[in-house]
Amino acid sequence: MFATKPALAKAMITDALDAGTPAAWVTADEVYGQDPMLRAELGRRGLSYVLAVAKSHSVTTPAGTFPAIELAKKLPARAWQRVSAGSGAKGPRWYDWALIEVTDPAVADGGGPHWLLIRRRISDGEYAFYRAHAPRPVPLAQLVQVAGSRWKVEDGFAAGKELAALDEHQVRSWTSWHRWTILALLAHAFLATARACHYRRRALAPT
């Protein structure tokens, strides 16, 4: 039976939480951030989240409802803070960030503040936007850390495709796809562990 990506994510998160899997934060790209039902379920379960949304995404503030990009362009210089979103291949990923308190009619349960988190690239001023929520106030740096953690997942998928043929299956059924994916991820984990052990031995070797 067909299901959208946000619906599949909602079902997977629900199953994981019901099974006792510990979780505090959820982060995802625009496909998921735009879905009000997913945000509502995360709020109902008491999960904090940082979900990407499009620049045209409508956001409600005490002054009215506006596209995210319009709010970003009105912010004064003092609203921006330069914070690293984590380490990349070339060092820390520095961006300018701003936070606007908003409301989200989709999230009736869970309480806590809602924000529009805005990222501005230093080199060319390009914006990225996120809907963020937590049961209680949290610092900007923590929201930035969660937003940046998604790159680790994407880097992992890219490495899995390059090193362990994660995307080179030619299967059609769920069972065969599941088996291929598990084997590819295990192969990737083996290679990552072997690499880490190699560098650890080199670091501990006498000079």
Q: What is the pLDDT of residue 108?
A: 67
With 0-12 CB in 10 A as exposed, 13-18 as middle and 19+ as buried, what is 113?
A: middle
Tell me the whole-structure pTM to 2 decimals.
0.82
What does the pLDDT look like over 120-136, one tens digit per residue?
999 999 999 999 999 99
Q: What is the pLDDT of residue 169?
A: 86
Identify the sign of the CA torsion 52, 55, 58, 64: positive
Angstrom distance (rounded) from CA 7 to CA 189: 29
Enumerate the domain spans of the chain: 5-147, 165-204
Beta carbons within 8 Å of 42's beta carbon, 6+ residues apart = 13, 26, 49, 107, 110, 133
Answer whether 126's CB lies under 8 Å from 28's CB: no
Asked whether the predicted pLDDT for residue 110 surpasses 60, the reply is: no
**Residue 52: which pLDDT band, with cuts at 50, 70 and 90?**
very high
**Residue 152: which pLDDT band, with cuts at 50, 70 and 90?**
confident
Angstrom distance (rounded) from CA 30 to CA 126: 16
The pairing of beta strand 48-53 with beta strand 127-133 = antiparallel
**Residue 155: which pLDDT band, with cuts at 50, 70 and 90?**
confident
What amino acid is encoded at 110 in this protein?
Answer: G
In Å, what is the CA distance from 65 to each residue of 7, 62, 104, 105, 164?
A: 26, 8, 11, 12, 46
